[in-house]
Amino acid sequence: MHEYSIVSSLVERVQREADAHPGAIVRRLHVRIGELAGVEIELLRTAFETFRAHTVCEGAELAIAAVPASWRCPRCDRAIPVGEILRCATCHRPARLAAGDDIILERIEMEVPDV
């Protein structure tokens, strides 16, 4: 279950950001997960709920946006519609994956005390 290692890396990254703002309280994490990233979103949520205890993310919510896979022609940049053969109908080049295979920590919401 690599979702736990993903959450571990996520919490470490958030810790580094929170360390830059002493006294910060992490409230919410916004993460984008591609359809082809090989991540089970519900397992990731469960891993986050389990792993966040006693970390900077202990009281934080996890907001996940699922990103569908999308394909484009590398030559003419034509979008390849879902369900079509992964080859450009115009120039016949094999399609290139344009989105949907990544995991991105998009935003961290923190409360930072006045200095």
Residues 86-112, mean pLDDT to the nearest whole number: 94
| CATH 3.30.2320.50 correct for 3-69+100-111 | yes
Q: What pLDDT was estimated at residue 115?
A: 61
Q: Residue 111 pLDDT more than 60?
A: yes
Domain positions in the chain: 3-69+100-111
Mean pLDDT, the chain, as a whole number? 94
pLDDT in tens, 2-47: 899 999 999 999 999 999 999 999 999 999 999 999 999 999 999 9
The backbone torsions φ and ψ at residue 72, rounded to the nearest 5 degrees and listed phi first, read -140, 160
Identify the CA nearest to 65 among candidates 91, 103, 27: 103
In one letter, which amino acid is 32? R
- What share of the chain has pLDDT > 70, as a percent? 98
* 3-class secondary structure per residue, 11-44: HHHHHHHHHCCCCCEEEEEEEEEECCCCCCHHHH
User: In the structure, how many helices (H) and strands (E) does the chain have?
Assistant: 2, 6
Identify the CA nearest to 73 among candidates 90, 50, 49: 90
